[in-house]
Structure 1
Amino acid sequence: MNYLRPNQSKNCVSLPSSGQAKIISAHFIKIQDYGTIQVVENIKNMKNTKIVTTKIKRKANGQFELQIVFKTINERKGIVNMIGADWNMKNNKIWHTSDNDELYLSKNVSDKADKLEAEINKLKSQRDLITWLSQKSQRITKLNEDIRYLSSKRSHIPTAEYKRMAKELFAENDLIAIENLNAKKMRKRNQINVKQNKAKNRKLAKIKPYEMGRLLIQMANRLGKTVILVDSYKTSQAEYGTKYQEKHDVNDGKWVSKHTEAIIERDLNASRNILAWALNPKEHIKYKESLKLYKEGKIKTAIKPLNLITVN
């Protein structure tokens, strides 16, 4: 089990397929790093399936167990009902849809995550006060292990809630359009307002936009439904259904348009843009601005509309 890692003791080895894992016959499978392995169970019926991951486990009785994870793709269903969904972090609201529905993280889940965060911060404070010990000391090592354990536990708490929301969103819809959620961009430092930035990062640790998007795509693939990821550029600033745009503070949830005098609700406006641009990326404000610059000779090539969306 540990011949590839001589300094480690392993009871389980997990290997990505990388295109190498292959079922050869009824009782033989080829696995990355381990070559051809004979198995007891007849696996001939799995021969034409795509292998994603293989795991070799050493059981308590000394025997070995092989686990295989396959990728199955359900036939895509016809699209009848569709929505756009804008993610949010304010007051534990997670999604605001183009149908003007709102989905919230439950208070119970939020409270559990906050409690764990308090425990993590307490351990970090204890660790940071110990300046006379080496970072490799047993005491510091134990604190770091406890911090990692609680951080992992905290990050997994909302997952069940996200799955519930994904089921709710797909219950009556065949297509869901969302922003292409990129946590790295969301964590960009605001040098002017460090306090606001720290609060934003705390919320990102609890409400994970990338995780939510990933779960939606996984569920769509299981159900044979569709998710379209849309470039997030100015989804809130562009006034839906018009050529106008105006920028507002992130805390402004509603305003009166200075162009049309219509009442604009930030999240509803964004979700409607997301759906419209997913269905017709040529309407995306980013494409229109790029095309204008191209016609003015300021850039050599305009953005391709299809590069602004990704379909699962």
Structure 2
Amino acid sequence: MNPWTNWPDGTTAETGAAVDVTKLDDQTYSPFVLFHTSKYAGSGVLGGYLQTATVNITSTQQGLSYWLGTYYPTAAASSARVDDLVNHFTSESITGVPCISTWTACHLFAFSLTSTATATTPSTTLTAAIIVYAEGNAVGETLIVTSDITDTATAQALGVALGKIGFGGDTALKAASGPGPAPTVGIDSLTLSHKVKSKLKGTASLKSGEKGLFEVSFHTTNSGVDLPTGTIVVLKGTKQIVSGALQAATTGTPAQVVLAAVAKFTNKSKKAIHLTAQVLVTLGASTDTKSLTFTVKPKP
């Protein structure tokens, strides 16, 4: 469990070692116990790896980061450890969000910390963010603490740095814990839309030369941070008109990851032509397909 290669560029002061499980409840050894409702000692933790380093959030702001990967006797025990942290933040009225929309079992919390004032030093407000997720019988936890963030750009940069460390840790956990359940993907819908007065509207027909947006919504299991890939083929009868790769995109509120492609079709005849779009989505050895029929109207 050693994902140093996935940490942000410019990371310094790296320290890392296999954990001493007897010290995980000592906040001077690992800060993660501060964010749990129960101790590690009663969680069944068997071992793991702990890293700390200074990371660059922006060119002018750094943060202290921690990554902890721990493993447990069962997947149920690792999931319980994740739930324990989520319950802690819920009890503090701090609402988390999924790390990415396709991985709802990965939780992200952003919050503020205040240092204790002394006779010579005033209290200081700090910004912190934490990611936690289970991967089989293992748990990944990532924390960054930095000076108070008040602008959106720096907050987004913090999220990028946190994601690099957290998702690099996910790769390490998968390698350490060995093969887990195979990922699967299923298509929920395939839609076609076009612009009407600058707004996207669903449609079953396009004008000749008009751009259409094909969107594939999907669900996955056991995928972690991995996203599916996809291809689209448009047919007129059995003849292929166009084909290409689907690209990952975000849409909606809250944001949802979809696979999408933009295409336009020319109709030089005087009658509408009927076409079929076929998509294939792949995640590991899992695949799913879906079709959509639409028409292309001739030019007026």
TM-score over 0.5 (shorter chain) = no
Q: Quick check: which one's helix share is greater?
A: 1
Q: Please, what TM-score do these two structures have when normalized by structure 2?
A: 0.25
Q: Please, what TM-score do these two structures have when normalized by structure 1?
A: 0.24
Q: Quick check: which one's strand share is greater?
A: 2
